[in-house]
Amino acid sequence: MRRHRSQSRPQPRPGPPVEVVIEAIGGEGDGVAPGPIFAPYTLPGERVRVTGAGERRELDAVLEPSPDRIAPVCPHFGVCGGCALQHWAHGPYLAWKVERLAANLARQQIETEILPPFAVGPGTRRRIALHARRGSRDAARLGYKMRKSWDLVDIAVCPISDPVLQAAIPALKRLAAPLFEHPKSAPTLHVTLTATGLDIDITGVEAKSGGLSADARMQVAERAAAAGFARVTVAGEVAYLANLPGVRLGAASVALPAGAFLQATREAEVAMTAFVKAQAQGATRIADLYCGVGTFTFHLAELAPVHAADASAEAIQALVSALATAPGLKGVTAEARDLARRPMLAQELKKTDVVVFDPPRAGAAEQSAELARSSVSRVIGVSCNPATFTRDARTLIDAGFALDRVLPVDQFLWSPHVELVGVFSR
């Protein structure tokens, strides 16, 4: 039998340091020099010395800094893989994000009005994911992964995060310490700041061996109580509960399921929901697709009846339960439905004139195809991935829609990511 050789290519040997001039910033936030050569923590116009081999190099020294270079605010910057662009002044940094969005649209030959971007500031993230590694008996090592590595940066502060989350880091390290009974456990603490306290959903604890022992669960509960956390769940199963975590969405008070999706910052959520609601004015019937726990649903239901759909049955149940807390809405119906496998059909949208959709990073290819076949007159797309948004936008435009305007949203501060809300009409 013929054996296949390994497809892995040998890595080039590092050569001597070289000097290059950075011409642009690439899609991952690295500076790009001719070659191309990619170098992290560099800026356009800088002359720098880099080490290594191949396209991906490491920064050795900045020889001629850009006037846009600033001092990073985080002591972990440059080691932690969480932020890529803390060294760039806010104005050109934000302009670059808008330019990236425009370039994505241009690749699909889409022209539209790009509105002034909405940007969050430091200390606003209410939802973070912290990786844990074995430390002492009393405190685990906790933080983010290093850039391009599985190693961990044990953080003391995180300037992007809400001060309440930063203040909880020592208690979160204590909470994670009992999670390492099995050598294969690699826990991640998904921490969300809610109106009733911190909600922590822990994943990555080895389950094949039976999960956490009764003793470990007792320790987790005791440490959560001492820290004043609202809830701790392990793979969705409640390990400690003092207060049911909840948020206010429009007029509704929503009790969150474990691991529920929320926009990363409250400030961006407010800006996006206000924009979506304004663009939906005049609607007679609205469909809110990929609705989650109702981020947009409750605001839209102040305008017209809304039908909401999402793949998460838990999210839909939370949305439906919250309706009792929000009197005066025009009416909401909801269903658990996987819109990738079973999109809302054009025939089902016959009486709907406005559709809002907020899909995951993979986009909404199947749903966009149905919207293209429908009689819907206005579509509002919310996206965390400009590449899949422009793909879906091309589907709608080819069916007779026009992309009227786009609102860029910088919700993931100092990262290469940009979000957006686009408004289509026909």
Q: Which of 262, 257, 191 is nearest to 229 (CA)?
A: 191
User: What whole-number distance in Å separates Cα of residue 291 and Cα of residue 298?
Assistant: 10
Q: Which long-range contacts (CB under 8 A, 24 or more apart) does 214-222 make?
A: 215/178, 216/178, 216/179, 216/181, 219/177, 219/178, 220/175, 220/178, 220/179
User: What whole-number distance in Å separates Cα of residue 28 and Cα of residue 261?
Assistant: 24
Cα 312 from chain centre: 17
> Quick check: 224 and 199 in contact, CB under 8 A?
no
Can you read off the two tokens belonging to residue 262? 């929320």
- What are the φ/ψ torsions at residue 215 (nearest 5 degrees)? -65, -45
- The DSSP secondary-structure symbol of 252 reads E
Neighbours of 107 (CB within 10 A): 13
> Quick check: 56 and 26 in contact, CB under 8 A?
no
Which residues, 6 or more positions from 138, have their beta carbon under 8 angstroms from its beta carbon? 174, 177
- The DSSP secondary-structure symbol of 234 reads E
* Exposure class string for 238-264: b at 16+ Cβ within 10 A, else e: ebbeeeebbbebbbbbbbbbbbbbbbb
Q: Which of 318, 366, 313 is nearest to 341 (CA)?
A: 366
User: What whole-number distance in Å separates Cα of residue 191 and Cα of residue 176?
Assistant: 12
User: What whole-number distance in Å separates Cα of residue 300 and Cα of residue 283?
Assistant: 9
Can you read off the two tokens belonging to residue 376? 């819907």
Query: What's the order of all strands across the beta sheet hosting 24-25?
Result: 24-25, 31-33, 37-39
The single residue of 74, 158, 291, 384 carrying the catalytic annotation is 384
Residue 384 falls in the annotated catalytic set: yes
Active-site residues, by number, are: 384
